[in-house]
Structures are given as C-alpha cells and as structure tokens.
Amino acid sequence: MYSRDFLNFRLYDSYIFAQKKKMSAVYHVVSPEKLKELTIAIFSKMGCSESDAHLAADVLISADMRGIDSHGVARLSGYVRLWKAGRINAKASPKLIYENPTTGTFDGDSGLGLTNAAKAMDIAIQKAEQFGSGWIAIKNSNHFGIAAYHAMKALPKNMIGMALTNASPLVSPTYSKERLLGTNPICYAIPAGEESPVIIDMATSAAANGKLEIAQRKGELIPEGWLQDSLGRITNKPEDLKGGGSLLPLGSIKETGSHKGYALSAFVDIFSGVLSGANYGPWVPPFVSFLPLAPDMPGEGIGHFVGAMRVDGFRPLEEFQKNMDQWIRRFKAAETVPGQPEVIIPGEPEARLEKERVVTGIPLIDAVYNDLESLCTEFQITMPDLSFRH
C-alpha cells in the first residue's frame, strides 16, 4: 500500500480494492498493445498523420502504464471534443519559429500538445548534444499529457530533462479567490547509475483536480488544505470546486507557505506562457470544450517549456551516476516515523507500476472503457477486443 497514493493513485487503489472484492466487472483489464493500436486508430481518424498518431498514442499509453490514469486514454474523448470544437488542429505543421544556439520558440500550430512537446524536446536534446544544454518554449499548443514523458526523453542520452506546462485556470494565488493559475506541473527527469532515475512530476497545487473528482464520485470529503469555496472559505466538500471555488496552491494557506506554491505556479506560467507567446494566467484556454475561451486573449493557445542538459557538461558521467546511486540508496534507507512506510524516491511508484502493468495489463474503469466504445461508434471503428491475456 505504501506507494499507492504517492501521486494520483486512487484509481489504482480502487482497482486493487475491487479485485479483492471480486468486483472485477467494474474494471476492464486491457492489453497495452491493443489499447495503443486503438488509440492510434482514433488519432488517425481525427486526421493526424501516421507518425503523429503513433507519437500521441505513445504519450497516452505511457501515462496509463505509469499509473497516471487521469492523463492516459481517459483524456482521449476530451481531445476529440476539442478537435470537434476546432481548438485542436489534427493536421498541424508545428515548427521552430525563433532560434538561438541553445534556446528557441516552437509554434505548435494549434496541434496536440502530446506531439508538440515531444517534438520540441527532441530539438532541445539536439541543442544539448551540441552545446551542453537546450531550452524550447512552446506556444499555440494544447494539453501535453504527462510531463514526465517529455522530460524522460533526455534519459537515454544521459541528460537531465525538464518539462513545464501551464493549464486551465483553477488555482488562486494566496489571498485571492479568483482562478488565475492552472495546476501547472513541474517535471525533472534525472538519470542515475544502477538505480532507477529520479522522476519528479508534480502539480504545483496542493492536490490535483483528479483527486477531487474521485472524492466527489465516491461522495467523500476531502482534506482541509486542497480547496476554497467561491467566497474563499476553506472547504472539505469537493463539489465546491464546481460551485465556483478554486484549488489552493501547494502550502494550502499563507501560514504554511501557500505563497511558495503560488510562486512556483507563477514560474511555470511565465516560462510556459509569457516566454513562448502563449496565453497565461486567467487567459489559458480551458481543457473542456464546452467552456468558452476568455475574451482578449494575449497569446496563442497553451504554453509549455522543455529542456535538456548533458550530465557530462558538468562532470564525468560515471562520477555523477555513482553519487546519484548513493543519494537514492541513502534516502531509501532513511529512518521512518513509527507507523509510516519507507521513504519513496520521486518516480519510484510509477516505475514499479510500469513494470507491473506489462505483466498485469492496464485496468480501465467502466467510464473510460465506455468512452472508448463511444469513440469507436463515432469514428466507425469496430471496437476491438482489448482484453489482456497472461
């Protein structure tokens, strides 16, 4: 149990729970390969090129494999709705529009953020190969999936990867009740030697929106510190978000450092939105297609920021790897508070799930499975047998 709720594992918890209770009908355990084929087919039907469809599907399935179920195929119908609303351009021709030896800006041409961020990261890596580091801001984009996918592209090159994105406004800065910031994640992927890499991938809000949705679905209260209502009062009722409330920054309230979570979210918004020429703050386009765009948008689409640095731009790789292994082992061996589980290295639970799901398949909840069926009907695809066989 100890690792299950490290990031956003409630769905997986429920799955384990349901398995124990023999409630397996609620879940569909699917084959990663078959799920990916179907995802490719749906992106292709939207009009994506073959290579874009493969890349976008790879990003989504990677989220499902790593247990970030909220950012996997669960989002697919959302992308389709944005495409139908004309806000995602499936035939985008994104390109680098501004360049310098180690920096630049990539125009996503209103395409999928999934593919834009991955392509921009490839450019950052090329720059890092040549100059030691590379940094690309991306504008005119859309939701980019899990940040870790993009940052982790640096790892096979023995580089440190970074990925940021801004997102639909749901979070209020300290003292305010207005939604001015997204859950704006920060991700760093840091290679190690014999140990698994350290993957930091975290929303800068106290809790991710997905956690509130799950609590609301279950009729549960949420901890104090996640949410304020429309009048700015701390609340433990998840439905107060839909009633006009807002998520609290990491740190929750001023006394325990919410101004720091707000500042980190501001950093992500400025790097992703202002540096690239995308929208920022309250003008970032909403993920859901039924919400209108804000008037007088100052930029284009959603913004991301990705980068890579060669480890051997600082010291010999082997020395770094040896020290990283020691860092990881020392933290893993830390003395715990009585009754608490062992210390978790950032990225450890996701790496473990990624291995597990190769063997166990991916559990999809009914709602997501049904969404896939609807998409098949809509795109006139015969819903394939996705079931996983050992």
> Does 190 sit near a second copy (CB under 8 A)?
yes
* Smaller CB separation from a second copy, 229 or 354: 229
Q: In angstroms, rounded to a whole number, what is the distance separating the alpha carbons of residues 122 and 98?
A: 16
> Does 126 sit near a second copy (CB under 8 A)?
no
CA distances from 380 to 5, 226, 327 (A): 38, 42, 52
DSSP state of 197: P
* Sign of the four-CA dihedral 348, 349, 350, 355: positive
> Does 4 sit near a second copy (CB under 8 A)?
no
Residues 65-84 that bind a second copy (CB under 8 A): none
* Smaller CB separation from a second copy, 41 or 344: 344
Q: Minimum distance between the CB of residue 73 and a second copy, rounded to whole angstroms?
A: 26
> Does 176 sit near a second copy (CB under 8 A)?
yes
- Which span sits near a second copy by CB under 8 A: 12-20, 35-43, 150-158, 168-176? 168-176
**Pairing mode, if any, of strands 95-99 and 103-107?**
antiparallel
* Smaller CB separation from a second copy, 267 or 354: 267
Under 8 Å between Cβ of 111 and 90: yes
**Adjacency order of strands within the sheet including 186-190:** 95-99, 103-107, 133-141, 302-310, 159-165, 186-190, 198-202
Q: Minimum distance between the CB of residue 320 and a second copy, rounded to whole angstroms?
A: 6
* Smaller CB separation from a second copy, 18 or 96: 96
Under 8 Å between Cβ of 203 and 184: yes
Alpha-helix residue ranges (DSSP H) falling in 21-165: 32-46, 50-65, 76-84, 113-131, 147-151
Residues 244-273 that bind a second copy (CB under 8 A): 250-252, 254-257, 259-264, 266-267, 269-270, 273
Q: Minimum distance between the CB of residue 144 and a second copy, rounded to whole angstroms?
A: 18
Count of residues that bind a second copy according to CB under 8 A: 93
Nearest to 141 by CA among 224, 212, 59: 59
> Does 41 sit near a second copy (CB under 8 A)?
no
State the burial class of residue 102 (Cβ atoms within 10 Å of its Cβ: 0-12, 13-18, 19+).
middle
Under 8 Å between Cβ of 73 and 368: yes
* Smaller CB separation from a second copy, 81 or 260: 260
State the burial class of residue 72 (Cβ atoms within 10 Å of its Cβ: 0-12, 13-18, 19+).
buried
Q: Minimum distance between the CB of residue 232 and a second copy, rounded to whole angstroms?
A: 3
> From the list 87, 177, 237, 352, which residue makes contact with a second copy (rule: CB under 8 A)?
177
Residues 270-309 that bind a second copy (CB under 8 A): 270, 273-277, 280-282, 298-299, 309
> From the list 318, 319, 356, 366, which residue makes contact with a second copy (rule: CB under 8 A)?
319
Q: Minimum distance between the CB of residue 341 and a second copy, rounded to whole angstroms?
A: 6
Lay out the site mask for a second copy across 191-230 (x = CB under 8 A, - = otherwise): -------x-x-xxx-xx---------------x-xx-x--
> Does 336 sit near a second copy (CB under 8 A)?
yes
Q: Minimum distance between the CB of residue 55 and a second copy, rounded to whole angstroms?
A: 24
DSSP secondary structure, 260-314, as one string? HHHHHHHHHHIIIIITTT---GGGSPPSSTTSPPPSS--SSSEEEEEEEEEGGGT
> Does 155 sit near a second copy (CB under 8 A)?
no
Q: Minimum distance between the CB of residue 52 and a second copy, rounded to whole angstroms?
A: 25
